[in-house]
Amino acid sequence: MNESTTEAAPAWDAAMEAELLRRIDGKTKPVGALGGLEILAAAVARTQRSLTPRLETCCLTIFAADHGIATEGVSAYPQAVTRQMVLNFLGGGAAANVLARSLGVALRVVDAGVAGEPVVHPALVSSRIAAGTRSCLDGPAMTSTELDAALGVGRALGADGDWHARCFGEMGIGNTSSAALVAHKLTGLSLDPLVGRGTGLADPGLARKREILGRAAARTVPCLGPHDAMAEYGGFEIAMMTGAMLGAAAAGRVVIVDGFIASVAALAAVGIEPAARGAMVFAHRSAERGHGAVLASLAAEPILDLGLRLGEGTGALLAWPIIKAAAAMLTEMSSFESAGVSGPA
């Protein structure tokens, strides 16, 4: 484990916070001149509880699972694509693979509950809870026992390894439907603005998706806590990602949150353990409808806005070099005093 996340790390108190801000303002630049980079640097320092944070290594974990609601025609793609994309990840051919390789980020693929027989591959982490969730149109997507198992596995996967930062991606046909329903129940916001085109539904398909999800939402009371919302409407990959964010945050890792679905997992994680919010950095504003509302619920300002709506952790990967640079600025950049540069008059 790296030195900034050991048990010997000091408690973060008012004196540490004041020193952090003094150091950032004392770098050889006008106060506030690095804008959001300074905010990111401070967030990393607080997460690692270090005034000289190290942020050199990162791992992307992609959780894959299927959703019973997909059989209702809420996606432009067939459910078989989940398994096919898992094999694509394992073969190194997906967008997430390409970006991770180009940035030197480790990548793991987890079967959290892909439909059909278990996928067999030496590089796959098989942690499947079941062969997909049940349709939330007719009843709960998963049992409380299944939810607890997914959260527990996720916590362990989020805390393991010695990476300084963790990204979490997802793959699961139908998971924008699941995420929209979970967000609706957690925030109390109207369902309609949370429901987007997902994999690219045309207008008739989008109308059907809204109608199906409206019927599913009507089964339960307007607002639910995070455990009930995920049991009723979540996916195994979303629940496992929620656990992974909690595990990584508890281990002092920076949690780089991807797009719409990952942000819903973050929303659930913060609902379970509010302190986890401090470890989270939000990578980008997705083009998927509803992401802005979820970000607002988390008081989150994303780093990038590139019109992405792919998932897989791709937005989180693209934000990684910026977050890494922010930590390097805090640790390596000279102060006016150390560089012998005159400060403001």
Catalytic residues: 312
> What is the distance between the alpha carbons of residues 33 and 344, in angstroms, rounded to a whole number?
13
Residues pairing with 281 in the sheet: 256
Residues pairing with 335 in the sheet: 27
With beta carbons less than 8 A apart as the criterion, state whether 236 and 134 touch: no
Q: How far apart are the first and last CA of the chain?
A: 44
Q: How far is CA 41 from CA 20, 33, 85, 160, 273, in A?
A: 9, 13, 35, 24, 23
Residues pairing with 124 in the sheet: 109
Which of 89, 69, 70 shows the shortest CA–CA distance to 79? 70
> What is the distance between the alpha carbons of residues 201 and 194, in angstroms, rounded to a whole number?
15
Tokens 């026992």: give the residue: 145
Which of 153, 146, 129, 173 shows the shortest CA–CA distance to 245? 153
Token pair belonging to 125: 């982490």
